[in-house]
Amino acid sequence: MGRKKIELKRIEDMCNRHVTFCKRRSGLIKKARELSVLCDVEVGLVVFTNRGRLYEFCSGDSLLNIIKRYQSHFEGRSQSQSPNEVDTKEHEESEETLMVSFGKLLQTIQSHVEEPDFKKLNVNDMVHLENQLEASLDKIKSQRVEAMMENSSWIDNMDMAIAMVDSQL
Amino acid sequence: MGRKKIELKRIEDMCNRHVTFCKRRSGLIKKARELSVLCDVEVGLVVFTNRGRLYEFCSGDSLLNIIKRYQSHFEGRSQSQSPNEVDTKEHEESEETLMVSFGKLLQTIQSHVEEPDFKKLNVNDMVHLENQLEASLDKIKSQRVEAMMENSSWIDNMDMAIAMVDSQL
DNA sequence: GCACCTATTTATAATAA
DNA sequence: TTTATTATAAATAGGTG
């Protein structure tokens, strides 16, 4: 709905993409609010930019409440995949290999970080490292998700586990 | 956008309300998908009817991941400050502090990875580590983007830099 | 980044099936 | 509930300040 019809794919021009993001983000939030008011339903919405910026909307007090409600919706059953955009990834890579390469990657990054002039690290190198780290993270996540599928009681002791890790860090 | 303009308040006629809900719900989800594709952002959306029925959308694998990311966004600060439509950007953190904490995080993960029974690491711990790593990555990225803004010639020697890093890894 | 503009495209209200 | 129609209201692409 504009001067021109646009394709449904990532807008490549970064500047244009950002302008469109600003406009459509506010449009989406407006629609979410209208739906919640007109139809008397609870709506929760979160948007993460790739820079890690967060935008959110919720119809009630706090999104955390809606999230709780969402999570409790799945308690006691095996986690089913969300119907949208089902992921078909390749899980062929062995866990062993995956972890070794991830470890090496971490070492490389660590050595960079430990350098006193890390801040002067070439920005291009950082981009590359970020991308590799992200890719590794994705693979590990997908493996974890698989593990979760097999052990559906994982959510029960979540709080305890988080507390434990917190104390370690 | 219809034959008539309607007020922004709860539709009292239950039948009409439900028809409107069906139409607008699908419209909202369509908009959410478009935003995520066009602007390359992560979007999570949940809708609860007052009868407890759930409708959801997310741009990635699972809403649970987006929720985790959302929750980790608020870790380590005063809780319960999540007002609607708030742009939560905190770039106040000094680069120095940022890199130190990132380094510590890497060390922690590294020690986990190096353990022989890393594969048996509790899945919940891994989720937590993933989230922290992701958050750190986001912050570093945004700082890098800022740096790029100031030095716009960065793209020129991108290929060379990537080749260099490749040979290091 | 935001506010405004205008030509177009989209969403949808009313209605019926 | 979903689907189709169609007149109309809204959203928004591209642009300017």
User: How far away is chain B from the Cα of A76, in angstroms, using its nearest Cα?
Assistant: 15
Mind giving me the DSSP string for A132-151?
Answer: HHHHHHHHHHHHHHHHHHH-
Residue B64's pLDDT band (cuts 50, 70, 90): confident
Residue at A88 is within a domain? no
DSSP three-state, residue B85: coil
B102 and B136 in contact (C-beta within 8 Å)? yes
End-to-end CA distance of chain B: 56
Nearest residue of A to residue B97, measured between CA atoms: A119
A36 and A43 in contact (C-beta within 8 Å)? yes
What six digits make up the tokens of A122?
A: 């070439």
pLDDT above 60 for B9: yes
C-alpha distances out from residue A7 to A11, A23, B120, B139, B160, Å: 9, 17, 45, 31, 33
Q: Are B61 and A142 a contacting pair at CB < 8 A? A: yes
Which residues from chain A sit within 8 angstroms of residue B143, using beta carbons?
none
DSSP three-state, residue B68: helix
Q: Which residues of chain A (13-52) touch nucleic strand D at CB < 7 A?
A: 16, 19-20, 23-24, 26-28, 30-31, 34
Greater pLDDT, A161 or A6: A6
B3 beta carbon < 7 A from strand D? yes
Residue at B88 is within a domain? no
What b/e string do you get for B97-132 counting C-beta neighbours within 10 Å, with b at 16 or more?
A: ebbebbbebbebbbebbeeeebeeeebbebbbbbbb
Residue at A153 is within a domain? yes
How many angstroms separate the CA of A23 from the C1' of D12? 8
A129 beta carbon < 7 A from strand D? no
How many angstroms separate the CA of A56 from the C1' of D15? 29
Range with lowest mean pLDDT among A91-100, A118-127, A153-162, B6-15: A153-162
What six digits make up the tokens of B28?
A: 């909202």
Task: Tell me the per-residue pLDDT of B18-39, one tens digit each, with 9 for 90 and over.
Answer: 999 999 999 999 999 999 999 9
Residue at A5 is within a domain? no
Q: Number of A to B CB contacts under 8 A, please give it.
A: 284
For A92, list phi and psi in degrees, rounded to 5. -70, -40
User: How far away is chain B from the Cα of A136, in angstroms, using its nearest Cα?
Assistant: 11
pLDDT above 80 for A2: yes
User: How far away is chain B from the Cα of A51, in angstroms, using its nearest Cα?
Assistant: 5
Nearest residue of B to residue A123, measured between CA atoms: B144
Residue at B21 is within a domain? yes
Residue at A106 is within a domain? no
Task: Tell me the per-residue pLDDT of A112-131, one tens digit each, with 9 for 90 and over.
Answer: 454 444 444 445 555 555 66
Residue at B99 is within a domain? no
Number of domains chain B contains: 2
What gap in Å lies between CA A99 and CA A152, rounded to an integer? 24
Q: Are B31 and A24 a contacting pair at CB < 8 A? A: yes
Nearest residue of A to residue B99, measured between CA atoms: A113
Residue at A164 is within a domain? yes
Domain shared by A123 and A75, yes or no: no
Closest residue (Cα, C1') to D3: B23
What pLDDT does residue A50 have?
Answer: 77
Among A79, A101, A128, which residue terminates a domain? Answer: A79
Task: Tell me the per-residue pLDDT of B66-105, one tens digit each, with 9 for 90 and over.
Answer: 888 787 776 534 333 343 333 333 333 444 444 555 555 5
Domain shared by B73 and B15, yes or no: yes
Nearest to B62 by CA among A158, A91, A82, A135: A82
Interface test with A, best of B40, B81, B117, B155 (most A CBs within 10 A): B40
What gap in Å lies between CA B43 and CA B154, rounded to an integer? 30
Listing from the earlier edge strand, what are the strands of the sheet with B42-48? A54-58, A42-48, B42-48, B54-58
Unique residue bearing structure tokens 């937590």: B128
Most distant CA atoms of chain A, gap in Å:
58
Which of B31, B103, B128 is facing A165, going by the closest CB pair? Answer: B128
Unique residue bearing structure tokens 């469109």: A20
User: How far away is chain B from the Cα of A66, in angstroms, using its nearest Cα?
Assistant: 8
Nearest residue of B to residue A122, measured between CA atoms: B161
Q: Are B21 and A37 a contacting pair at CB < 8 A? A: no
Residue A34, domain extent: 11-79
Among B79, B99, B128, which residue terminates a domain? Answer: B79
Q: What's the full length of chain B, in residues?
A: 169
C-alpha distances out from residue B18 to A30, A34, A41, A70, B141, Å: 19, 14, 11, 22, 44
Average pLDDT over residues A18-40: 92
Beta-sheet strands, E only, within chain A = 42-48, 54-58
